[in-house]
Amino acid sequence: MYDLATQLVAKWARGGPEQRINVTDDYTRLTLDSIALCAMGKRFNSFYSEEMHPFVGAMVRFLVESGARARKTKLEALIWREPERQYWKDIEYMKSVCNELIEHRRANPVDKKDLLNAMLFGRDPKTKERLTDESVVNNMITFLIAGHETTSGLLSFVTYYLIKHPEVCEKARKEVDTVVGTGPVTADHITKMPYLEAIMRETLRLNPTAPGISITIRPDQGDQIIGGGKYLIPKGVTVFCNMPSVGRDQSVFGDDAEEFKPERMYGENFTKLPPNAWKVGHFLNAN
């Protein structure tokens, strides 16, 4: 990860102060390359090409069409066949990338405790069975997509807020200088920079990269009354939880809930928040 982060910094430094930087694209390169290298030993080398790796294009089209398919009628699906063809073409391409990684690892085994080795050679402790190649491929695609997308989104929003709030950026810089100094960043440094963690928490409060989740009451639970007896939710009804709205609740975060203030997520201020007031990506307990 340090190797890839230095590639990103070097790319930005080479551009000079007048160069426009596509931050979101570069963070996508960073996080995709990181999960591929750390978990699977694959270098996409995204910083050595003007174009994104084809996996990214296939992934984006796949995610967009997956959402669209849920809204299409059967008639629309029959008339507009090209999106359907591209959808399966992208799936096959992503699978082919993962199969290449599997074949390369088997042909060039390494003694490394990474995700790919665990999936290929690990056995279930009870059944002693291994994952099928199909399951390994499906899990690899899941990790490559879900493992990088939300992280790149978080980094993009963090950068936005640091630019908008130079005083916060300067405080974060001083923390890094104090903890890391002039040497390379190591894993041991991460837990020693609580203000940086507060910046990320506050960013996720305002702009969670998983902005919404749908919750359905289990059929065996029956109708539920939530919100202190205010709301009846019948069984089988799906409720959409808008996470940005939850994070901006003034009854929890005050009249300045719309403002970016990492201090509210720092130290005791964070631990004193009401239960379930900040659960990014998780359902807040209705009670």
pLDDT of residue 282: 42
Token readout for 90 is 């992208």
226 and 107 share a domain?
Answer: no
CB neighbourhood size of 217 (10 A): 18
Q: Hunting for tokens 């299409």 — which residue is that?
A: 72
| Total domain count, the chain | 2
Helices 133-146, 149-164: axis angle to 10 degrees equals: 10
Q: Is residue 234 part of a domain?
A: yes
Give the list of residues 6+ apart from residue 28 with CB closer than 8 angstroms, or none: 52, 56, 148, 149, 152
**Which pLDDT value is given to residue 146?**
79
Which residue range(s) make up the domain with 40? 2-149
CATH code, domain with 21: 1.10.630.10
Spatial separation of the C-alpha atoms in residues 154 and 23, rounded to whole Å: 12
Same domain, residue pair 44 and 111: yes
Same domain flag for 145 and 8:
yes
- Whether residue 154 lies inside any domain: the answer is no
Give the pLDDT score at 280: 66
Same domain, 129 and 186: no
Residues in the chain predicted with pLDDT less than 50, given as ranges, are 281-287
The dihedral over CA atoms of 253, 259, 262, 266, expressed in degrees to the nearest 10, equals: -10
Question: Is residue 70 located within the same domain as residue 145?
Answer: yes
Asked if residue 15 and residue 140 are part of one domain, the reply reads: yes
- Specify whether 145 is located in the same domain as 6: yes
How far CA 133 is from CA of 37, 58, 76, 119, 281, in Å, comes to: 20, 21, 34, 9, 30
pLDDT of residue 286: 35
Output DSSP code: residue 261: -
Residue at 157 is within a domain: no
Instruction: Kindly state whether residues 125 and 187 are assigned to the same domain.
Output: no
Residue 168, pLDDT score: 98
Q: Tell me, what's the pLDDT at 258? A: 96
pLDDT confidence of residue 75:
79
Shared domain for 144 and 207, answered yes or no, is: no
What distance in Å separates the CA atoms of residue 52 and residue 22, rounded to the nearest whole number? 12
Statement to judge: residues 197 and 246 lie in one domain: yes
- Contact assessment for residue 202 and residue 265, using Cβ atoms and an 8 Å cutoff: yes
In this structure, are 128 and 175 located in the same domain? no
Residue with tokens 């239960």: 275
Residues 193 and 100 in one domain: no
Q: Is residue 280 part of a domain?
A: no
**Which H or E element spans position 214?**
strand 212-216
Residue 56, amino acid: V
> Distance between CA 152 and CA 26 in Å, rounded?
9
- Evaluate whether residue 238 is within a structural domain: yes
Q: What gap in Å lies between CA 159 and CA 23, rounded to an integer?
A: 8
Q: What pLDDT score does 284 carry?
A: 35
Q: What is the pLDDT of residue 287?
A: 32
